[in-house]
A = this chain, B = another copy of it.
Amino acid sequence: MQSKGQETYSHILKKSRNLFTVQGFQNTSISQVIAATDVKKGNLYYHFPSKEALGLAVLVDAKEEFFTILEDSLSGDNPMLKILNSCNTILAMMQQTNFVGGCLFGNTALEMAGSNSSFSEVIQEVFSHWTELIEQELLQAAKYDLPLPPISPDALATSVVAILEGGIMLSKVYTTSKSLEDCIFVIRTLLLLQR
């Protein structure tokens, strides 16, 4: 069971994650965090000594949750279907919020990666682990006699992550899931293509 302090800590993380995802980190004030969480200022600072500490904790918490979701979503009868299932899980997650906000990691990458090295480290970890998980599946493809497109597994995995992030960006711009759906169809074609 969570203690009262742990509960408050988690509550602040989840509410702040939502604010940072929708508004961005820079554009979210501590007063907005206080209003959204209904936590007293002293209590907020007890858990997170600075806005930067809060931002970093939100990223780390979101990263851990995302890794669990990713690992669970990589399920299916063969590596290619696992990757496609994972793409569709991400699509479903984004559809739930109608693409408002989009991807916290992508947003933070473009907003903060150049200017905050702690944030940048977490973001690199997210994209590296995500790419590795996909690459591992691609490396398994040979065992299933599945033909790979003539691209190194490393470059293909990087591109799958890039297509998804770009697709989420376009879906956010047009507020329609069609862009991301088109992107996943292209991933499907790339992965299931016969040479």
Contact = CB atoms under 8 A, between A and B. Distances in A.
B170 A161 contact: yes
Interface in A135-178: 149-151, 154-156, 158-159, 161-167, 169-170, 172-174
Contact of A182 (B24, B158, B169): B158
A149 B27 contact: no
Number of copies of chain A assembled together: 2
A86 interface: no
A186 B187 CA distance: 10
A127 interface: yes
Nearest to A101: B114
18 contacts: A22-B114, A100-B114, A102-B110, A110-B169, A114-B172, A149-B189, A149-B193, A155-B185, A155-B186, A162-B165, A162-B183, A163-B163, A165-B165, A165-B170, A166-B169, A169-B169, A186-B190, A189-B190
